[in-house]
Structure 1
Amino acid sequence: MSRELIAHNKPVFDQLHPGIYGAAVGLIAWFALMAWVLFDRSSDVSLSLMFVTVLFVVAIALPWTLSLVWRKFQMPYEGHPKPASFRDWTEGDLAVWDARLRARDAAIDVLLPLVAVSLGLTAIGVVFVIVRAFAA
């Protein structure tokens, strides 16, 4: 641990790394897949699962489409000249409003709720399948 109050020469980023977005999409896809695999046992549930899946597809497709439009109409002087590697990104800071967060902590803050919900649904679904197997 350094004795300096301010770490010098640490890069400051204003956006999340694309790998964080990829992990978030993967966790949402895992949630939807496990919902279909573990809870689709009757025709009553299929309609609800379809609506949840459509909601997730829209929640992923809308920001992705907006990012494509933003990238297309970006001014030449905006943005970073070359994207940073994930390791370099996690060693830097992330500018959030008027403060700075360690990029590693920001990634955890973004992904932790998605991990908890995805793995929680998977655990509940596995328990549900086991209890149903022993009840029959």
Structure 2
Amino acid sequence: MKRDLVARKRPVFDELHPKIYAAAVGLVAWFAFMAWVLFDRSSDISLSLGLVTLLFVVAILLPWILALLWRRYRMPYEPHRGPTSLHDWEAGEFAVWGAKLRGSHAAIDVLLPLAAVSFGLTAIGIVFVIVRATVLP
């Protein structure tokens, strides 16, 4: 049985809200920062952390630059929507391939893996620091 007894016409969005992108970038930055803070204890690990950080920088900059180019060179027949609030975006629907998701569910699907990895690395790093401090004199 449907929750809504009266069918509402919700707006359908085909791109993520900019605040969702900002949260994703923040979680990736948190991951890289915690990796450097909690695991950079010897000189041989710095190269690996540097390469991982470079990978994250490229993974953030490349989609951002492509999004800027896409917005600048938009086709004339494509509709131009004004800025939408995060609340309106979450209340609407998000088009995914052939289906539609609620905006809030799409945001959770995008941010949950990044949050789990970022906070999981932080927890593992804290345990690593505590164990090393208690085992080594």
TM-score category of the 2 structures, normalised to the smaller one? over 0.9
Q: Mark the runs of 5 or more structure 1 residues left unpaired by the alignment.
A: none
Tell me the distance in 2 between the aligned counterparts of 1:13 and 1:34: 34
| Identity level (%) | 67
AA aligned opposite 2:27: L
Distance in 2 (alpha carbons) for counterparts of 1:36 and 1:79: 43
The match for 1:69 is 69
Provide the residue aligned with 1:118 in structure 2. Answer: 118
Task: Tell me the matched-pair count.
Answer: 134
Equivalence for 1:134 = 134
- Give structure 2 stretches of 5+ with no counterpart: none
Match in the other structure for 1:53: 53
Q: What corresponds to 2:8 in structure 1? A: 8
What is the deviation of 1:77? 4.1
Matched residue, 1:24 = 24
Find the counterpart in structure 2 of residue 85 from structure 1. 85
Report what 2:39 is aligned to: 39
Q: Supply the RMSD in Å over aligned alpha carbons.
A: 1.1
Q: TM-score, normalised by structure 1?
A: 0.94
Deviates more, 1:66-75 or 1:108-117: 66-75
2:15 alignment partner AA: Q
Aligned letter for 2:26? G
SS in 1 for 2:31: helix
What letter is aligned with 1:41? R
Structure 2: distance between partners of 1:79 and 1:57 = 31
The CA distance in 2 between the partners of 1:131 and 1:69, in whole Å, is: 48
Q: Secondary structure at the match of 2:45?
A: helix
Aligned partner of residue 82 in structure 1, secondary structure:
coil
Deviation at 1:39, TM superposition (A): 0.1
* Equivalences for residues 103-114 of structure 1 within 5 A: 103-114=103-114
What is the aligned partner in structure 1 of residue 99 from structure 2? 99
Q: What is the letter of the counterpart of residue 127 of structure 1?
A: V
Whichever residue aligns with residue 3 of structure 1, its letter is L
